[in-house]
Amino acid sequence: MVVGFREFRVADKVAESDIITSFYLEPTDGAPVWEVKPGQYLTLRMPGDGDPVLKTYSVSCDPSETRHHRITVKREAGLNGAPDGVGSCWLHDQVEVGQIIDIAAPRGAFVLDESSNRPVLLLSGGVGLTPMVSMLHRLRDSGRDVYFLHACENGRVHALRDEVLACVNDRIRARFVYRTPDEADRAAQSFDAQGVIDKAFLQNNLPVDDYEVYLCGPTPFMVAMYQLLQDVGVPKGRIAYEFFGKAKSLDQLLVKPDIRKAASRAAPTIQALTFLTDPDAWAAADEGAKHTGTPSQGEVTFRKSNTSAEWDGFAGSLLELAENAGLNPEFSCRSGICNSCKCTLVSGTVEYFEEPLIQPEEGQVLICCSRPKGAVVLDI
């Protein structure tokens, strides 16, 4: 077994909706499960075409659970219903109760701030509710006001609905918005609004307050919600968010806004949404400064691109610094898991603020989870 991984047995496999299934994972060594922060994810090692692949899934159960971890996975599909998700289809179609899976310890910076007393808005779309359910369990007895707002297509694909409702109390409210409810949904009155979450819905369901917001779901959903939240007065510094799948810089994706029909009137999408859990980390100049000589003490030189940038601590990683300098290095997970961002360290020294799951070879560095210690030259 690869260093950094631990064997878990699939103790149960539970269908949560037509397309979403939960997997209960128990360690085979008999020791307690890892401590997990609400919102973190697990990394699973699974078969691929050739070498094994690593896939990450949010822990969806109560983070105080000591017997098992739970992940809740949507079965992804491509054109005409053909399988499109290597990891999700393997889990749904091939993994059965009793199977052993190699899993690495919880990771991720998209976590609930448990030191805060502010009211919380948990806002999700589709399978993006999975980290929110973990956060909701932890918040249940916190005494904080919590609003759980979830949008999905209809009741057939709505996962963990009853579990969320079981957490509702005098301080926790849950509201569901279905885009295309069916007759069964209408008869059961299982949703609170039809369409998508829009400004009118937020104003009608959220009292004015000093919220901390946690946002997760499909990229177009997050783009629209990020703008919407600011329209109703939530400062962008209070909005933490996370992508599922390959992490992207949304600034590069938002060439054309994706405007959808809403319950009343949809807000326009934002043209300057930032990456992951730091909405204040706006991109720097469109072009990086050209390298002209010997690196200064805090200078990072990207040799192949003939570009350099000063490390001032504002960028979260060498990857972010390269992006801010106008470069487009390869990346996928942005958290030291996949090694897609690996490059040659020509000179200088770096430090990892998050240890790579699999250490790169000597002379190589993962730029997504490292920062420079003095002047550095990278072969990018």
Query: What secondary structure does DSSP assign to 22-50, as a single string?
Result: EEEEEETTSSPPPP--TT-EEEEEE--SS
Check: CB of residue 184 under 8 Å from CB of residue 247: no
Q: Quote the number of domains for the chain.
A: 3
Query: Residue 52 CB: number of other CB atoms within 10 A?
Result: 11
Domain match, 176 and 139 both: yes
Residue 187 domain-assigned (yes or no): yes
Residue 195: DSSP 8-state:
S
Q: Are residues 129 and 73 in the same domain?
A: no
The domain that holds 156 is classified in CATH as 3.40.50.80
SS3 125: strand
- How far apart CA 336 and CA 67 sit, in angstroms, is 27
Residues 27 and 146 reside in one and the same domain = no
Phi and psi of 238, rounded to 5°? -100, 10
pLDDT for the residue numbered 297:
63
Same structural domain for residues 299 and 326? Answer: yes
Domain co-membership, 90 together with 206: no
Q: Does a structural domain hold residue 56?
A: yes
Q: Is residue 85 located within the same domain as residue 138?
A: no
Element (H, E) at 252: helix 250-253
Both tokens of residue 186? 């209408």
DSSP 333-364: SSSSSS-TTEEEEEES-EEESS--SSPPPTTE
38 and 158 housed in the same domain: no
Provide the CATH number for the domain around residue 18: 2.40.30.10
Beta bridge mates, 56: 43
pLDDT of residue 244: 62
Residue range(s) defining the domain that contains residue 34: 5-107
Residue 129 shares a structural domain with residue 243 = yes
Q: What is the CATH number of the domain that holds 318?
A: 3.10.20.30
Same domain, 38 and 155: no
Alpha-carbon distance 181 to 190, whole Å?
9
For residue 78, being part of any structural domain is answered with yes
Asked, for residue 261, whether it belongs to a domain, the answer is no
pTM score, whole prediction: 0.78
The answer to whether residue 346 is domain-embedded is yes
| Alpha-carbon span 245 to 248, nearest angstrom | 9
Residue where one domain finishes, among candidates 107, 132, 150 = 107
DSSP 279: T
Is residue 242 in some structural domain?
yes
Point out the domain boundary residue: 253, 273, 306.
253
Q: Please list the ranges in the chain whose pLDDT falls under 70.
A: 1-3, 77-85, 244-297
**DSSP E strand boundaries for 153-226:** 172-178, 193-194, 212-216
Q: What is the reported pLDDT for 337? A: 87
CA distance 19 to 344: 41
67 and 30 share one domain: yes
Site of tokens 């949507």: 74
pLDDT for residue 298? 84
- Is there a contact between 357 and 337 (Cβ–Cβ < 8 Å)? yes
Q: What angle do CA 224, 73, 56 make, to 5 degrees?
A: 85
R_g of the chain, CA atoms, integer Å? 22
Q: Clarify whether residues 125 and 244 are in a common domain.
A: yes
Of 209, 227, 253, which residue is a domain's last?
253
- Asked if 371 and 353 count as a contact pair (C-beta separation under 8 A), the reply is yes
- How far apart (Å, rounded) are the C-alpha atoms in residues 317 and 323? 10
Residue type, 176: F
For the chain, the maximum distance between any two Cα atoms, rounded to a whole number of angstroms, is 72
Give a yes or no: residue 276 inside a domain.
no
Is the separation of the CB atoms in 266 and 151 below 8 Å? Answer: no
14 found inside a domain = yes
What letter would DSSP give residue 266?
P
58 SS3 class? strand
Q: Do 102 and 124 fall into the same domain?
A: no
